[in-house]
Amino acid sequence: MPDNISKKIKVMKTFKDIEWKKHQLGPGFIQGLLMLDSGIELSIVAGSGMHCSSKDGVAKPVDILKINEILSFEVCVFNDPNFETEMDDEVLGWQSREDIDELIIKHS
């Protein structure tokens, strides 16, 4: 390959790239946002009353420092006109880390 041609290596984002913060709903809720190169943004949330689960099997208040205790999350996809869900509230519930990685691939 000639020296004047450079290769760009695109690294696919994954669940591990999500930046977590306290959700605006208050203590016991967390939110992670992930902006994809396509301009689509994923919002991943967890907490009591949300469509998520913990190691105990129920949605409960979440400490941002104990994210490993969360088994599934509630996800919303922003800026995608083709985004449709089977749920009336337009979120995807009970999404595992692997499910979220698949969503990242699909929307990248």
pLDDT band at 70 (very low <50, low <70, confident <90, very high): very high
Say which residue, 73 or 38, is predicted with more confidence.
73
Average confidence score pLDDT of the chain: 86
| Tokens representing residue 31 in the block | 């939110």
CB 15 within 8 A of CB 7: no
Global pTM exceeds 0.75: yes
In the prediction, which pLDDT does 59 show?
79
Q: Give the residue, 86 or 33, on which the prediction is more confident.
A: 33
**Residue 11: predicted pLDDT:** 84
Cα gap 61→6, rounded to integer Å: 48
Domain spans of the chain, in order of start: 18-107
Is the CB of residue 94 less than 8 Å from the CB of residue 44?
Answer: no
